[in-house]
Each structure stands twice: as structure tokens, then as C-alpha cells.
Amino acid sequence: MEEKRARLFSAVQPSGIPTIANYIGAIKNWVDLQDKYECIYSIADLHTLTVKQVPATLRQRTLELIALYLACGVDPEKSTVFVQSHVPCHAELTWILNTITYPGELARMTQYKDKSRNHADNVNMGLMDYPVLMAADILLYNAEVVPVGKDQKQHLEIARDLAERFNNRYSPTFAVPEGIIPKVGANIMSLQDPAHKMSKSDPNENAFISMNDDRDTIIRKFKRAVTDSESRVAFDENRAGISNLVSIYSVFSGKTFAEIEKQFEGVGYGEFKIEVAEAVASTICPINERKNEYLANKAYLDKIMIEGKERAEYMARKMLAKVYKNVGLYTPERKS
Ligand code: TRP
């Protein structure tokens, strides 16, 4: 008999074109996790509304993100792939969880504080409630495992607290999720300012490699990457720029730091940068081609989304019914 696998949930927001940092930190790992866990991968479109979006762009990015998932190797036969807003239970469970969440614990969140500062003209309740919606995403599927980057660790903590709080206040209902942090190599920094994380919202386009960049753009951006004057290819904490390039090369070539240092002994930065760019391009470009093929077949993407929604909603409805019952909401039964 097949062993029952633990359930895993993760999601990315369709709020911009993902960078290689998003790919390495999230989607690339998802592909391998599919064989180990029962995976549910979502597109967190409701979360993006917490900052201003252009409606037509949001719709297009949702399509692009699902095409990217598929192009990277997320397999809708193995995993449940769906768009958050297609399953209304996420918003419904958020309401219930809101009634056991304290404003103080949300106001303390680092991301909330950062975003309220960066979007001072649009500090809204959704921005504050963001972690509760994320908790609903996870708890709705009784997910035991959640792969998250460092920046989402605090939010996962809230999800764990809410699960426990609910179970204590009412009756045992939710699994308490565990986070798994992706292995090393996940810390990809800006190419222009290696003290900061690579970010898709960086105003300087040379700071990041987007999953949409073509080979020439990738080479041009790596050529311009900030390094130092020592000119020795090595991972060295005091030289953040070259260390970042070594990390990126390691992830994309599968070579260890030691192997890379040996291979590039006596080789200049210029030549090394081209090698890094080639390694990245040889992964990214074929993904991009497949993504564009999917995008050209909108009917297929719609079909995948609808099937994913049906599978996700089946699980979510069952869970939400249990929650409604356990909090004391009356459910009428049809007798005839
Ligand atoms: N907040 C996550 C991010 O921006 C995306 C997300 C939404 C998520 N719901 C989730 C991640 C549930 C893990 C689990 O990266």
C-alpha cells in the first residue's frame, strides 16, 4: 500500500515578474518536493491587493505565473495548482481567524511595518491582515509542511499560533504547520548592491535577473555586477559582490564553492562573470521558451486552473465545514 505523504502548501504572489532569487528560493524547490509530499501550490492573488495593482496587469501576471510554474516543472498531475481567489474558502476562513487574532500581534510584523512605510499613502486593513489570510491558506488544507523564505518566517509563526489558539479555544481542528527553510544558496543578493536582497521591485533593473530576461540581457547584467578590486574568485564574507556571484554560479552549475575556486584560480572577474551568466541563461532561457508556449495556449492554462480549483475547493470546503461546526455556526440539514 502506498504510504500517506505529508501535505505541503506554498504560494507566490503574482505581483511582478519573478527573479532568479524567487526561482531558487521557491519554485525550483517545489519541483523536487512534489515526489516527497502531497503538494498544493497556489497563486496568492488576494494577497497582492494589499498594495495597489493595475487590474489588467494583475490578470496578466496571474497567467504568467501559472505558465511559469508549469514551465519550471510543477506538474498538475502530481500537485494541486490553483489560484487563491478561485477558492472562496480562503476569504471565509480569514474572517473566522480574524476573530481570534489580536491587532497588536499584526502591528508588530516586520513586513507590515516595512510596507506601511513604503506605501504610506495606502496603509489599509488588508495590509495588516495579510498574515491572517496566509494562515488561512495553510490551515485550510491542514498542511503540515510549508517551505518559506526567511522573510516569511514570522508569518508562519502567526499561522502556528492561530492553529494552536483555535484548537485550544474550540476543539482540535487544525494541524500545526512546520516551516522548512530551503538549503544554502538561497540567499541571492542584488547585483548592484550585494548588501541587499535581490528584489523584483528594485528600481535599478541591473540589480536583478528576471525570469523573463533573455540571454543578452543576462550577460549584460552580470558584466555590470558590482565586485571588488582584489580579483580573486572565491566565497569570502568580506567581499559580498564576488561571493554572491559564486553562490549564484554554485546553484546554477551544481558545483561546490571549493570546486569553483579551484576551477577559476588565476581567472579574472570578467571571464568568470561570463561563465556565471552562461550558466544562468542555460537554465532560464529554456524555461522562458516553455513559459511562452504555455502562454500562447490560454485555453490550456484555464483548464489547469479550473481543475486545480475543483481539487483545492473540495479539500477546503470539508475543512471549512468542520471549522464552522466547531465554532458553533448552525448548519441546516435538508431532510427531503
Ligand atoms: N506571503 C508569501 C510571499 O509573499 C506568499 C504566500 C501566500 C504564502 N500564502 C502563503 C507562502 C502560504 C506560503 C504559504 O512570499
Together in a domain, 77 and 24: yes
Q: Ligand 1 mean position to 171 CA, how many Å? A: 26
Q: Are 249 and 260 in contact (CB under 8 A)?
A: yes
Percent of the chain predicted with pLDDT > 90 = 90
As a whole number, mean pLDDT of residues 197-223 equals 95
Whether 39 and 87 share a structural domain: yes
- How many Cα atoms sit within 13 Å of 314 on the Cβ side? 7
Distance CA 199, CA 203 (A): 9
What is the model's pTM? 0.93
CA distances in angstroms from 12 to 65, 104, 172, 322, listed in the order given: 8, 26, 29, 27
Asked whether residue 15 falls in the same domain as residue 138, the answer is yes
- The single residue of 28, 36, 197, 309 carrying the catalytic annotation is 197
Active site residue 115: yes
Quick: pLDDT tens for 230-264.
989 999 989 999 999 999 999 999 999 999 999 99
Strand partners, 141: none
- Per-residue model confidence as pLDDT tens digits over 97-137: 999 999 999 999 999 999 999 889 999 999 999 999 999 99
* CB 140 less than 6 A from any atom of ligand 1: no
What share of the chain in percent tops pLDDT 70? Answer: 98
Residues 135 and 221 in one domain: no
Q: What φ, ψ does residue 221 adopt, rounded to 5°?
A: -65, -40
CA of 64 to the centre of ligand 1 (A): 17
Which of 7, 12, 160 for mutating ligand 1's site (highest number of atoms within 8 Å of CB)? 12
For residue 189, is it within any domain? no
Average pLDDT, rounded, for the chain:
95
- Ligand 1 neighbour 47 (Cβ under 6 A): yes
- HSE value, Cβ hemisphere, 13 Å, CA-based, for 155: 26
- Ligand 1 in contact with 148 (CB < 6 A)? yes
CA 210 to chain centre: 15
The answer as to whether 335 is a domain residue is no
- In this structure, the answer to whether residues 231 and 289 fall within a common structural domain is yes
Report the residue among 39, 84, 155 best suited for mutation to probe ligand 1: largest number of ligand atoms under 8 A from its CB: 155
* Residues spanned by the domain of 37: 7-181+297-327
Domain presence at residue 119: yes
* Number of domains, the chain: 2
274 close to 245: Cβ distance less than 8 angstroms: no
pLDDT of residue 336: 80
Whether 150 has a pLDDT exceeding 60, the answer reads: yes
Tens-digit pLDDT profile for residues 42-80: 999 999 999 999 999 999 999 999 999 999 999 999 999
Residue 185 scores a pLDDT above 70: no
